[in-house]
Chains A and B, each alone.
Chain A
Amino acid sequence: MSFLLQQALIDPSAATKMHPRQQGALISQARNSRLLASLAVVLKDSGNMETLPEKMRRHLRSALVIHAKQKMDLNYETDRIRSILRSADENLLLLKGGAYIQAELPVGKGRLITDIDILVSRKNIENVERTLKAAGWEGSQIDDYDDHYYRRWGHEIPPLISHRRGTTLDVHHNILPPTAGPNVDACLLLKDAIEIAPGIFTLSWRDMVIHSATHLFHEGEFHHGLRDLWDLDRMLRDFPDRDPHFWNELLERAERLQLQVSLFHGLNYTHKVFGTPLPAGLLREARDRAQNVAKPIVDFLYLRAFRPDHPDSRLLFTGPALFLLYVRSHYLRMPIYLLLPHLTRKLWKRCFQDDSGAPLGLDNKTGKTANQ
């Protein structure tokens, strides 16, 4: 059941022993899972980079170049957003990749990002949006239905974009939509935030783990599933050293935030896929607190989602499994009377407003069209 990328991430020396065809597939799987720079970091740190063939190394170096540039750009954007938010009386609280990188955590090493995510207080979000727009961030071009959907049922406003620099900013007021089963009190998250640099905050270590697990199991698209699981692994190996009470209070905190089910899944699958070390009895206790979640069918679905969506590593029924998880993620996000009209609308749009014959999409890394 194991796949090449999993093998190489767990034991980097495995990459040096692979057949050239497998080494090509490994690069392809890592690229597909947005883990190529992370793989490069793992191979470098373990001293295995130099023994790899040059054909392979140049792809890994290429990904590190992208990571280095993203890190530099993030630094610049963080600085600007911080001062814009200050004029809106709001602190800059970074979430996910942006937080990992800016806090210089091991999980941020080689982490590629597609946008910057921040968390602001609910009551101030309109003010924040206005201030950001006045400072040059533009709203995205989406139709009225989607705009309404974001504002009425979402936990974030429609993405803001800096067209000149090609950066996307996601402004959240919570980590889950208000329609989702768990009712997360975002004030608790804000209260526990850590200041990593003057005026720059992240969630606390525990909340970071809980948020990552929540994100993983409430997102419908699993393109980043494996990447998010790898984030969890890196954090769970690192945070206990930073805080001796990390494990003690993790489960309690998740329960306080009503996210014990997501946390259990996160711990369970990280341990299953990457062999992440957990204290004895922790998983059992997490399951008890989450109550009856370990159904075989859920395992069947998720173990498919946590593989690269790649021809070499897909299992039997991966397609239907991903579809069911997509539906499930929506079901987790909102009650059925909202869900059905929404999915029907999405399906209708996909079938009848398809972009057939449209030009190739903009490539968000170079800002150039592919077909020059």
Chain B
Amino acid sequence: MQAVGNLTNKLFHKQLRTGSLALQVGPYTYSIQSDLPIVAEGIRALYRDFVLVDPQNFIDYKISIRHGGLLQRLRRQTQFYFDGTRPFAPIPIGQAYAFLEWGMNWCVSLHANEYLKLHAAVVSSERGAIIMPGVPGSGKSTLCAALGLRGWRILSDEHAMLIPGTVNVVPLCRPVSLKNESIEVIQQFSAEAILGPTSQKTHKGRVAHMKADLHADSHNASPLPAAWMIFPRFCPNERQQVTLRRRSDSFILAAYHSFNYSLLCESGFESMEKLINSVACFDLVYHDLNWAVHTVNQLVGHPDNE
């Protein structure tokens, strides 16, 4: 099986330009088309270990980032395409890479209803998986990146995809999205972090993505059982602590952080109930990443690496 990194530069650019670059991302196959150098640079850096798929195979999500017309070209804007439609407003070229990643998230957020999808980061060790739901700014992505850099396997930075009626999470490993100061925090946290292009002045501020498939099993597609649910909250002025969270609260909060809890009706309720009854739930307030990683390790009985 060939990975993106095995392609020669010339072949890679040709495939990306013509839309024949197809990647396996968790259970889905994406094909990506773009003529923008910044997109090529980002994919080359962050997806180099992703397995290539024959473009003649079944493609789940066919996406494209390119100019929508002359007016956009003059405005230095570009456009995200999905199924040949333009679901979003035009974007400045400098933000194209961030939008590629967001667009790839969007495909799953909107369409894949075979799973109960929580808006959460998921990491795992041999002791089980941790689901970390969180609103933007809660520090879930930063903590997810840090755990990934300390030997945990990152299953997703965005979607915890639960197979209904089980506690099993389907891996969907893609780059971790870091915003504003988190970019430097992670760079200082580990010299191993590989970052893609930085998008300035997006509606979320400055955004860069980190290569997430750092583990030997990163591209293994088998579902893994969730054992913990941790609600992280980054807060510089509060005492760092980890506390047990009531199951009833956790249920409501996790449902609130779900993309399709209400869409799935009874099946959504039953799956969430099963999950919440099977995992231990905690609140984690932190501002120091080293402390947070150490605390998570202790909580689940995982050795500290490095």
Contact = CB atoms under 8 A, between A and B. Distances in A.
A123 interface: no
Interface centre among A21, A55, A370 (most CB of B within 10 A): A370
Given A21-B55, A65-B264, A360-B88, A368 B112 contact: no
Interface in B57-80: 57-60, 62, 71, 75, 77
Contacts of A365: 110, 263
B57 A356 contact: no
B195 to A, nearest CB: 19
Interface in A2-47: 19-21, 23-25, 27-29, 31-32
A314 B83 CA distance: 12
A48 to B, nearest CB: 16
Interface in A341-372: 351, 354-361, 363, 365-366, 368, 370-372
A69 interface: yes
Contact of B56 (A21, A311, A314, A354): A21
Contacts, number: 118
Contacts of B262: 69
Contacts of A59: 60, 111
Given A20-B56, A20-B58, A360 B89 contact: yes
B301 interface: no
A56 B259 CA distance: 22
Contacts of B42: none
A53 interface: yes
Given A20-B56, A356-B90, A309 B85 contact: yes
B119 interface: yes
A62 B83 contact: no
Q: How large is the interface on B (under 10, 10 to 19, 20 to 34, 35 or more residues)?
A: 35 or more
Contacts of B106: 360, 363, 370-371
Given A68-B265, A366-B259, A370-B103, A28 B62 contact: yes
Nearest to B57: A20
Interface residues of A, number: 46
Given A55-B60, A372-B105, A355 B83 contact: no
3 tightest Cβ-Cβ pairs between the two chains A and B: A370-B106, A62-B113, A359-B203
Interface of B: 55-60, 62, 71, 75, 77, 83-85, 87-92, 99, 102-103, 105-106, 109-114, 119, 136, 158, 203-204, 259-260, 262-265
27 contacts: A21-B55, A21-B57, A21-B59, A24-B58, A24-B59, A31-B111, A32-B84, A55-B60, A56-B58, A62-B111, A69-B264, A308-B84, A314-B84, A355-B89, A356-B77, A356-B92, A358-B89, A359-B89, A359-B203, A360-B106, A363-B106, A363-B110, A365-B263, A370-B102, A370-B106, A371-B204, A372-B158
